[in-house]
């Protein structure tokens, strides 16, 4: 079983791997590029993935909402918070998903807190956001739809969310990313997993 998030489809021309679950945790925000999100939803619907996403994106694609392979994510009150907000959660508040952080952090909650997998191995979570540069695996990858924030502040928000994951699911999350700067979880060798 594998999970993928957001604009992962940009890498599909370079790999045979496809996910079992597709997670899109952004909330409905004015100005969202609904064309790109609709394309991502259609790709993963056609792949037969179980999709967990905000209804804002999925209601634009025929056959997803009623497919039986769709679960709605509703943004919680932590969605628009940042790492330095005193109300930022210390632990996740399952069974309702906490949408603080990123889609990766929501995917971890789904895997460990809802679907009850034993452990999660993260691949491609390298962090290291850089100002004015592509911060993902593909030059064609577009950033999220939220407010404009510096790369440094985005990095701190996502790092804080990973720290919440580590506290919420101790000894169940491992970082198998090659390189990168995410050091919240124990490292494991990607090559030895398969």
Domain count, the chain: 1
24-55: string of b/e by CB count within 10 Å (b at 16+)? bbbbeeeebeeeebeebbbbbbeeebbbbbbe
129: domain range? 3-192
Cα–Cα distance, 166 to 184 (Å, whole number): 7
pTM of the model: 0.88
Per-residue pLDDT tens, the chain, 194 aa: give them: 999 998 899 899 999 999 999 998 876 554 556 677 778 888 998 899 999 988 766 666 666 666 668 888 888 888 888 899 999 999 999 999 998 988 999 999 999 999 999 999 999 888 877 776 666 666 655 554 444 567 788 889 999 999 999 999 999 999 999 988 899 999 999 999 87
Cα–Cα distance, 114 to 96 (Å, whole number): 9
Task: Indicate the pairing of strand 70-72 with strand 120-122.
Answer: unpaired
Q: Which residue has the tokens 């009623």?
A: 66
pLDDT, residue 135, reads 61
């Amino acid at each position: 079983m594998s999970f993928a998030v957001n604009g992962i489809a940009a890498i599909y021309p370079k790999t045979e791997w496809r996910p079992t679950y597709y997670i899109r945790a952004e909330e409905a925000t004015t100005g969202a590029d609904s064309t790109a999100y609709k394309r991502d939803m259609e790709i993963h619907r056609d792949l037969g993935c179980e999709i967990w996403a905000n209804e804002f994106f999925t209601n634009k694609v025929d056959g997803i909402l009623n497919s039986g392979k769709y679960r709605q994510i509703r943004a919680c009150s932590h969605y628009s918070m940042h790492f330095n907000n005193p109300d930022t959660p210390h632990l996740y508040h399952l069974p309702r998903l906490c949408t603080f952080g990123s889609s990766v952090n929501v995917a971890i909650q789904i895997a460990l807190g809802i679907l009850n997998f034993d452990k999660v191995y993260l691949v491609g979570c390298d962090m290291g956001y850089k100002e004015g540069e592509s911060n993902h695996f593909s030059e064609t990858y577009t950033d999220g739809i939220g407010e404009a924030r510096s790369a440094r502040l985005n990095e701190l928000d996502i790092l804080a969310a990973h720290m919440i994951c580590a506290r919420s699911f101790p000894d169940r999350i491992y970082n198998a990313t090659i390189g990168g700067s995410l050091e919240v979880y124990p490292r494991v060798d990607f090559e030895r997993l398969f």
